[in-house]
Every structure is written in structure tokens, then in C-alpha cells.
Amino acid sequence: MSKLSTKHLLGIKYLQKEDINLIFETADHFKQVINRPIKKVPSLRDITIANLFFENSTRTKLSFELAEKRLSADVINFASSSSSVTKGETLIDTVNNILSMKVDMVVMRHPNPGAAYFLSQHVDAKIINAGDGAHEHPTQALLDGYSMREKYKDLTGKNIIIVGDITHSRVALSNIFCLQKMGANVKVCGPLTLIPKYINSLGIEVISNLKEALEWCDIAMMLRIQLERQDTKFFPSIREYTQQYGLNKELLDSLSKKITIMHPGPINRGVEITSDVADSNQSIILNQVENGVAIRMAVLYLLAGRVD
């Protein structure tokens, strides 16, 4: 297989296992490229990409922009805070205006779930979802899966726990789809108020005790509490959350085996994870960031498609 089965990257849900493998294999080559003295290749030199960020982002935006530049694409950036969106323009109008400047691909982050899908139905460009509300964040899940594959080669039968605010996390949902397709066992852990009701329909079990969850897993993915998406109180206090679901060195060292720690960022140090755990040699958080560029290069390369 040398072609993705989808035209856009809207979510991991729409990808086949073969697509994920193809993206990983292509990312291997790009990882090699970005470690060369000259880190740039001319593959996408005739492509223009618009990065539309209707929501704040540091890592994802920089990572996409770097990936695009490493592939020699022309890049235009857009942030909603400084645009006409604040004057009442609709999403389609904004994007169509940008596309009339002859843009081939759109990378979009938007606070509304389904925004990327909606866009793909209405405009004529390749759409890459860089996070849509609490729905999906496919490139994050791909780079997480890729980082795990790098460490464990094959994820079949590996136990992975996702800890924290599952309800409001797009990273959790995309990772669940991705890891299940890669053959791993996934469970979630967190206060029941932060676990979505539909979780059982995905075939996911909930472990409510953190220590028990960590004993079960090979890899623990710690998530941030998404206060900006919470309109009501889901737990009594941050302090209480940390006591119940925060990962500290003492807890990590008390486990019977060495597990791998991941975090998609941004980290709230001292809340879901303490600094000594985040910076320990069991953590692969910075590898995740490095792999992000390679994965995004692979996705852009594979989706770029034919000149008509």
C-alpha cells in the first residue's frame, strides 16, 4: 500500500490500520531527514498550506509550521484572535476567502467538534484536523502511537492507561481509536465525572484507582485537566484531584515494574504529574515532541496528492 484511504485527515476514526502503518513508515524516513545537516526536502515546493488556528496552540502550531517548511511548502498563518472572525464572519466565508488565494491544504484547529469534517464537505482543499473541540486530534494520537512503537516495536497486547480528564480531551479519543487499531489494550482512569458516558461503547474499561491502573499498564498517558472546557465543577478541588490522580515519583517507584510515562502537553506540573516524573528517564515526553514534526511531515506528504 502506498496511498492513504482518505482524502483528508479528519480523525483517526476514519483511518484503517494500513493507513496508520503507512504514515509511520513514511515518518521513519522523515525522521532521518530532520536529523541531517540540511533538514529540508523540496517535496511540497509547489504547495501552499494555510494554518488556521481558531483556538490557542503552541506545540501543534509550531510543529505543523516546521513540518511544512521542512517540506518546502509555502505557509500562511491565521489566528482567530487577530482576524475578522471577531467581526462576525462565518467559518466557510473565512476559509473560502483564504482558499481564493490559491491554497491547497488547510490545517485547522477549531473549538467546535466536527469543524474539520464540516469544512471538508464545503470547501475544495485537503483538510487536516489539528484538533476540533473535545472530538479528535489525529496527529497527536499518531505521534503518540509512533513514539510508543519506537520504544516497543509492536504494540499488540501492550497495556496502555490514559489518566485524567477523558471527557474534555480530544487527545484521549484519538488515542483510543489509534491504539485499538494498533492492537493495544486501552483502559482509562480518572474521576468518574471526567469519564464520558459513551466510553463503554468503545470497548474501554474504567479503572478508578490510580495505583491499580498503573500496576496494570506498560505505558501511562497523563492528561491535563481542561479547565477552559469545563463550565461546571467536576471535582472538589485541584488539590484533591492531585492527591487522587496525580502521578508522583513515590508512586512511580512503588510499582512492581518500570512503566513508560507520556504526556501530550501542555503539562501542569504538580497537578497531574510532578516535575521529577515528567523529567525522569521513564518519561518520553520530549521524544513525543520530536516525533511530532516527522509525523506531520508524513501526513502532509501523503495527503498532498496530484497536481491537476
Partner 1 sequence: MQSSDRIILDPKQFELTIKRLSHQLIENYGDFKDTVIIGLQPRGYFLAERIHQELMKINAKLDIKLGSLDITFYRDDFRRQETPIIPNKTEINFIIEDKKVILIDDVLFTGRTIRSGLDAMLAFGRPKTVELLVLINRRYKRHLPIQADYIGKNVHSIVSERVKVNWKNIDKEDKVILYTPE
**Which residue ranges make up the site for partner 1 (CB under 8 A)?**
2-3, 22, 25-26, 29, 32-33, 36-38, 40-43, 46-47, 71, 301-302, 304-307
- Within 71-125, residue ranges assigned H as helices are 91-99, 115-122
C-beta closer to partner 1: residue 72 or 94? 72
Closest CB 306 distance from partner 1, rounded Å: 6
C-beta closer to partner 1: residue 28 or 205? 28
Per-position DSSP letters for 229-292, written without gaps between them: G-SS-SSS-HHHHHHHH-B-HHHHHTSSS--EEE--S---BTTTB-HHHHTSTTB-HHHHHHHH
Closest CB 3 distance from partner 1, rounded Å: 4
Closest CB 40 distance from partner 1, rounded Å: 8
Given a contact cutoff of 8 angstroms between Cβ atoms, the answer to whether 109 and 60 are in contact is: yes
Closest CB 146 distance from partner 1, rounded Å: 16
C-beta closer to partner 1: residue 44 or 184? 44
Integer angstrom CA distances of residue 175 from 1, 111, 139, 188, 190: 23, 19, 10, 11, 16
C-beta closer to partner 1: residue 70 or 263? 70
Closest CB 238 distance from partner 1, rounded Å: 46
Closest CB 94 distance from partner 1, rounded Å: 27
C-beta closer to partner 1: residue 117 or 146? 146
Rounded Cα distance, 156 and 148, in Å: 11
Closest CB 25 distance from partner 1, rounded Å: 7
Residue 147's contacts (CB-CB under 8 Å, 6 or more residues apart) are 262, 284, 287, 288, 291
Rounded Cα distance, 223 and 268, in Å: 9
Q: Which of 234, 159, 166, 160 is nearest to 197 (CA)?
A: 166
Cα of 137 vs its chain's centroid, Å: 4
C-beta closer to partner 1: residue 3 or 269? 3
C-beta closer to partner 1: residue 25 or 205? 25
